[in-house]
Structure 1
């Protein structure tokens, strides 16, 4: 199947998110950004960020201990700080950091603009050319305001990294490492330019914040609903650490059940039940159905990850489905559909998996996750309801 991206006039052309290669059409610019991303965050390269992941997860434990009821806020703070660290080498402020706040505000505009069918311009792209003063052009005036947020999210932290590099105080990060590599390379041999570093860095932050927070929240919900899984994981950790230390990435092979929990969290309640729309560039056929060129295809990750023939009893949270004789069962497919499909599969999935693994391991090693009780001591059952990331 030969596919490209659907047009997103409101998101890309008007609101300024055309720098995000996840939304871009297939072509040279997409390939350059994708290659730049993957060379920094493939399985091997992403391991250099493990110290920052451990540090971020350690900070998370301190925040959860001081105010456990605010765990979702702590998840957002942790992911924001970690991503700003490894993307730009920037230390953010504990509260109301301007970069994190800007990114959060910008992301909210994308959530609104990205709702399918909300804006008529997405169905009739010619409307993007009407003047802003024209009656009914309120969407363009709104997009002008949103564009400043999107561009600010891409430009401001990148400029700060460049400033630190100029002063000789920048630490290793995706942006500084890539810019140093570009400087050291012969211009004729560099496959990327400075603008590609800037736009790819902006994509990293966009792609890693709310998705990680959602998966961490699902983990808490899963542990509340499945205390036996929590207990097994804690016993496994204690068997390795003796209950006297935090697990490390070096313990990963010895703690396969924690890896199974990561897989099951991603499968059970995928962050993105439907993939970003794809547009076919050539005619294709699937299941006996003709799909003309130009057709819009939505990958149904939810259906794939809840296929009873692959994952029996799919609506139950069962990490042991990925286990066999105390080890991960290679015969059970990884829930890769949670990260998209084909050549557009999320290139940050290795970082996401390792971030979730160490955070889960740290939390399980130190906390007991229990259901809340009311003033009379009665257990408060979770609702198990999710808020959509679109149309908030």
Structure 2
């Protein structure tokens, strides 16, 4: 058996060396090209050891300190461009979007796990444009997003009630996850979630966790040596094949089951919510190809929106714990504008500028996708006197941009006032132009996410007091620490959550009961 493994290891190594040599030496013998600066790589493997497996955005930020805003890496023959500044990202991904809108080939996440047909990593082409068009028609403008205000307001009220019933910090993330899943499932399919153990919410949670693990550049060797995808899953070292099989099965379960629920509703003449994404497009999508596109588009809306919003709202609670002065300002504004007789609504948005600034600061302070999703350059390009080669993977270090001292004053400090002009001081750069990506790959659900976070911010300020926990006379000091890979969340923290008053708690209960009667 040991001899077999030895022969297998030599065979795999030989394939890898052949592949690396063919790619790297071909590049090495070509005429010298003025690539952007970057760390010097090793023979054959290039900058493989410069690619960390965790907190990749921090490693890229350290590279910026030494090499500048644009950094060049070569990982096993694959050129990679790291954009560490907003200016570079806008100049390339926005202004040259025609050649920066593709996604790199991702054998692990795309082909083996099956995410290649989902919008986030779909290759640029006709299917991508069709899917984006469907989403834009549904949620691409303020007017279309405002049509779904009532559904969001009802789910936010339900979130408040859950927190009042169970204010334990260890339950907070799950409360938020139910609310985010409730909003996006209603928008995507017209489905109303169960109060306990909803299978669709749990399924989305599993798939997004797997997606975040498999999409990080450089984690799986098969992404740089695609031939490895043909290894049998039972071989030692081919555990990635078994992981990919699980991801594939769970993804299609997430995509298929809500669509099956919609069909059952039709057959029973119950009818799902006619305002949902699927309902809006179902009658126009007749062919099997169109039906598949609609299913994958709805799944992308459902999957993407259910996880990223959770991270932002959970970060909101952490920010309020750490910044009681911010909480006091938010509460004062909501009290003045909304009053004690109702919960805030989306229609109050223009009258709540501090809440709007609070939303922006949460998104800046806790970027959910800190390095974005990689782009692929489809033609040679030049920038700042350097050549950017065709086929390069282009990564935008969003976390670095949102903590850039050249853009934000005291960037580590949580300060919503930075977005409110005062005393001749202009507002600082709007983070919404950064945190949702760039160019033609900008997140299509950004307006849905932003309005959902706004409603939650305003409602929390109206009803709840969030403070640090005291244990045996000692204050527990939480910190912002991100966990995750491509999609990150604040690490679990301690806090104490109480209703601001009995009147506020009664208002929440009455609102939820009224919502039930209106269904």
Match of 1:9 among 107, 111, 122: 107
Of residues 227-236 and 125-134 in structure 1, the stretch that sits farther from structure 2 once superposed is 125-134
Match of 2:257 in 1: 156
- Contact residue 256 and residue 327 of structure 1 kept, 8 A: no
Query: Which TM-score applies when normalising by structure 1?
Result: 0.92
Query: Which TM-score applies when normalising by structure 2?
Result: 0.70
Is residue 237 from structure 1 mapped to residue 334 from structure 2 by the alignment?
yes
Is residue 19 from structure 1 mapped to residue 121 from structure 2 by the alignment?
no
Q: How far apart, CA to CA, are the structure 2 residues paired with 1:272 and 1:326?
A: 34
- Contact residue 116 and residue 123 of structure 2 kept, 8 A: no
Of residues 240-249 and 65-74 in structure 1, the stretch that sits farther from structure 2 once superposed is 240-249
- RMSD over aligned CA atoms reads 2.2
Secondary structure (helix, strand or coil) at the match of 1:30 reads helix
Q: Cα deviation per residue 1:177-222 (whole Å; 9 max; x = unaligned)? A: 2103446xxx9xxxx8222110100101221122111101111111
Q: Cα deviation per residue 1:17-38 (whole Å; 9 max; x = unaligned)? A: 1221110111001111111111
Match of 1:61 in 2: 160
Match of 1:35 in 2: 133
Q: How far apart, CA to CA, are the structure 2 residues paired with 1:357 and 1:327?
A: 27
Deviation at 1:155, TM superposition (A): 0.9
Q: How far apart, CA to CA, are the structure 1 residues paired with 2:425 and 2:353?
A: 6
- Contact residue 330 and residue 354 of structure 2 kept, 8 A: yes
- Indicate the structure (1 or 2) with the bigger Cα radius of gyration: 2
Q: How far apart, CA to CA, are the structure 1 residues paired with 2:475 and 2:352?
A: 31
Secondary structure (helix, strand or coil) at the match of 1:250 reads helix
Is residue 377 from structure 1 mapped to residue 473 from structure 2 by the alignment?
yes
- Contact residue 305 and residue 335 of structure 1 kept, 8 A: no
Is residue 100 from structure 1 mapped to residue 196 from structure 2 by the alignment?
no
Is residue 289 from structure 1 mapped to residue 386 from structure 2 by the alignment?
yes
Q: How far apart, CA to CA, are the structure 2 residues paired with 1:160 and 1:242?
A: 40
Is residue 112 from structure 1 mapped to residue 209 from structure 2 by the alignment?
no
Secondary structure (helix, strand or coil) at the match of 1:285 reads strand
- Contact residue 372 and residue 396 of structure 2 kept, 8 A: yes
Match of 1:386 among 482, 497, 503: 482
Match of 1:138 among 230, 239, 264: 239
Q: Cα deviation per residue 1:111-153 (whole Å; 9 max; x = unaligned)? A: 3322332322111112223444555433223322321111111
Distance 1:241 1:328, change over 3 A: farther
Q: How far apart, CA to CA, are the structure 2 residues paired with 1:38 and 1:305?
A: 26
Match of 2:222 in 1: 121
Match of 2:436 in 1: 339
- Unpaired segments ≥5 residues, structure 1: none
Of residues 16-25 and 57-66 in structure 1, the stretch that sits farther from structure 2 once superposed is 16-25
* Residue pairs, 1:267-306, within 5 angstroms: 267-306=364-403
Secondary structure (helix, strand or coil) at the match of 1:118 reads coil
Q: How far apart, CA to CA, are the structure 2 residues paired with 1:306 and 1:54?
A: 32
* Residue pairs, 1:219-368, within 5 angstroms: 219-325=316-422, 332-368=429-465
How many residues of Structure 1 are paired with residues of Structure 2 in the alignment?
384
Secondary structure (helix, strand or coil) at the match of 2:257 reads helix
Q: How far apart, CA to CA, are the structure 2 residues paired with 1:95 and 1:320?
A: 38
Q: How far apart, CA to CA, are the structure 2 residues paired with 1:294 and 1:300?
A: 19
Distance 1:242 1:93, change over 3 A: closer
Of residues 100-109 and 152-161 in structure 1, the stretch that sits farther from structure 2 once superposed is 100-109
Match of 2:269 in 1: 168
Deviation at 1:163, TM superposition (A): 2.0
Q: How far apart, CA to CA, are the structure 1 residues paired with 2:184 and 2:309?
A: 10
